[in-house]
């Protein structure tokens, strides 16, 4: 007996009447607030563990392991959130994420013991899965000729949030004398506000094709569809390489800052300078990366961004002061934001409409995989060879990603090797 396919789709009932500019604004603010709160967890985690009395010999390992907890629960749930969003409601899935964020940040604010902090960080897994859904919604309402720049602008929201989070924490802690708990309570309130913004300030945008069938069948089918497509598979691989390198070092940037300025007053502001400035400049450059990709092609921009990331990470542990470290972090932020913009653009333009929403829903699977592996590797390497050895290893990972793209370019290979297949046609300057 022939079995019905879980990927059977129904046509979208009608065109969405959502203004694309308003939708981008609402999703942009939502993504920014999420980045703000999560970046504060990354930035203040070493300080929180020290204040909780974790021995210095164990703190570096704890930083890596706690950072990996962010993605342990989230990764298996990502395909389910995407299916539920396409079948029922994208808005509901995004609002769910914002409200869970508020619970997570409140839990961090209330934590007084390492195990309580670990449990709160673990709950972040239930808030993930919204970025791909927002990307899919933006893709469905944005005019094609503005797509590359629009996605790059949206992609800048997370890095800006990662810039604002440590900067705000530095002002509140060093400037106003707030406690760490008060900082996280503020982030919890902002998350509730973004949930209301999405719920009341945007309309439901349905995908071009609406999946039917059992949720688990659709979720596993989505993963199979992504992994069986050689183009998507190679794009995800490159994205995963970039994320792996970044996730290896991100939890340890505050530790690198602390090694330069020492603990005590001024540490939060110094962390804000390094992490916040880098993320902000990276966010501002991200739309320019989208424009470059539209005009000269995604592949050369990807290679340049990965190579720049590798060079900068290699130099980071050798700089003598916070100013130099902040300057290198700015270049790293530019590189990683550009990589993200190129990957989002490739997926939004190269994947067929029937699979586009599903693929974009899963766009951060490489991040979640790297988010588990990267900090875990970081914990092992720093325990064995120190922070400097970790940064050198991450540099090699970045450079390996650039080398793979260069060396695998050959006619007829498909995917990232086929420049004509993946790069957009140049846009005449007069049509921008």
| Structural domain that includes position 282 | 17-198+214-431
Separation in Å, CA 144 to CA 13, 197, 202: 21, 26, 21
* Close Cβ partners of 139 (under 8 Å, ≥ 6 residues apart): 147, 151, 348, 356, 357, 360
Place of tokens 């990972």: 397
CATH of the domain at 278: 1.20.1250.20
Q: Which of 317, 361, 308 is nearest to 337 (CA)?
A: 308
Per the domain annotation, does 378 fall within a domain?
Answer: yes
Per the domain annotation, does 7 fall within a domain?
Answer: no
Q: What is the pLDDT of residues 31-79, one digit of tens each?
A: 999 999 988 998 888 888 888 888 877 888 888 888 787 777 777 787 7
Q: What is the pTM of this model?
A: 0.68
For residue 193, is pLDDT > 90?
yes
355 pLDDT band, cuts 50/70/90, is low
Per the domain annotation, does 363 fall within a domain?
Answer: yes
Which three-class secondary structure state does DSSP give residue 331?
helix
Per the domain annotation, does 65 fall within a domain?
Answer: yes
Per the domain annotation, does 307 fall within a domain?
Answer: yes
- Burial of 264-274, coded b for 16+ CB within 10 Å and e otherwise, reads eeebbbbbbbb
Q: Which of 68, 51, 63, 181 is nearest to 124 (CA)?
A: 68
Question: 330 and 278 in contact (C-beta within 8 Å)?
Answer: yes
For residue 430, is pLDDT > 80?
no
Query: What's residue 357's pLDDT?
Result: 62
Place of tokens 């993605």: 71
For residue 267, is pLDDT > 80?
yes
Residue 304 CB neighbour total at 10 angstroms: 17
Query: What's residue 283's pLDDT?
Result: 64
Sign of CA dihedral 62, 170, 392, 242: positive
How far apart, in Å, do the first and last CA atoms of the chain sit? Answer: 54
For residue 6, is pLDDT > 60?
no
Query: What's residue 286's pLDDT?
Result: 62
Per the domain annotation, does 397 fall within a domain?
Answer: yes
Which range (98-102, 179-183, 344-348, 422-426) has the least confidence? 422-426
Query: What's residue 282's pLDDT?
Result: 64
For the chain, how many structural domains are there in total? 1
Per the domain annotation, does 295 fall within a domain?
Answer: yes
Sign of CA dihedral 230, 236, 242, 245: negative
Mean pLDDT of the chain: 79
What radius of gyration do the chain's Cα atoms show? 21
Tokens of 22: 């308003």
Per the domain annotation, does 10 fall within a domain?
Answer: no
Distance from C-alpha of 328 to C-alpha of 257, rounded to nearest angstrom = 13
């Amino acid at each position: 007996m022939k079995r019905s396919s879980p990927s059977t789709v129904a046509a979208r009932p009608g065109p969405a009447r959502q203004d694309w500019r308003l939708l981008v604004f609402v999703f942009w603010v939502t993504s920014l607030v999420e980045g703000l709160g999560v970046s504060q967890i990354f930035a203040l985690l070493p300080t929180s563990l020290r204040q909780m009395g974790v021995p210095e010999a164990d703190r570096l390992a704890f930083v890596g392991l706690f950072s990996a907890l962010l993605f342990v629960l989230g990764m298996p749930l990502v395909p389910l959130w995407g299916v539920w969003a396409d079948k029922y409601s994208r808005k509901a899935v995004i609002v769910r994420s914002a409200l869970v964020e508020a619970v997570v940040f409140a839990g961090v604010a209330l934590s007084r013991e390492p195990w309580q902090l670990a449990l709160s960080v673990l709950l972040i897994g239930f808030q993930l899965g919204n970025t791909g859904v927002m990307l899919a919604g933006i893709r469905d309402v944005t005019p094609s000729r503005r797509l590359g720049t629009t996605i790059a602008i949206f992609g800048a929201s997370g890095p800006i949030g990662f810039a604002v989070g440590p900067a705000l924490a530095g002002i509140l802690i060093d400037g106003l004398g707030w406690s760490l708990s008060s900082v996280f309570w503020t982030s919890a309130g902002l998350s509730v506000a973004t949930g209301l913004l999405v719920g009341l300030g945007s309309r439901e945008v349905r995908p071009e094709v609406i999946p039917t069938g059992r949720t688990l069948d659709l979720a596993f089918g989505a993963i199979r569809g992504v992994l069986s497509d050689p183009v998507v598979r190679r794009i995800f691989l490159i994205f995963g390489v970039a994320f792996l390198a970044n996730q290896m070092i991100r939890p340890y940037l505050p530790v690198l800052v602390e090694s330069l300025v020492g603990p005590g007053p001024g540490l939060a502001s110094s962390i804000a300078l390094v992490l916040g400035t880098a993320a902000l400049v990276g966010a501002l450059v991200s739309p320019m990366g989208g424009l470059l990709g539209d005009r000269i092609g995604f592949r050369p921009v990807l290679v340049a961004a990965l190579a720049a990331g590798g060079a900068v990470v290699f130099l980071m542990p050798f700089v003598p002061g916070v100013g130099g470290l902040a300057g290198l972090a700015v270049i790293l932020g530019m590189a990683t934001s550009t990589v993200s913009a190129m990957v989002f653009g490739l997926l939004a333009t190269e994947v067929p409409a029937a699979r586009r929403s599903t693929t974009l829903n899963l766009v951060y699977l490489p991040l979640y995989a790297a988010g588990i592996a990267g900090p875990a590797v970081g914990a092992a390497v720093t325990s064995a060879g120190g922070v400097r050895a970790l940064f050198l290893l991450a540099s090699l990972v970045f450079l390996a990603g650039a080398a793979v793209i260069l060396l695998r370019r050959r006619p007829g290979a498909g995917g990232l090797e086929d420049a004509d297949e993946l790069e957009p046609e140049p846009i005449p300057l007069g049509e921008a």
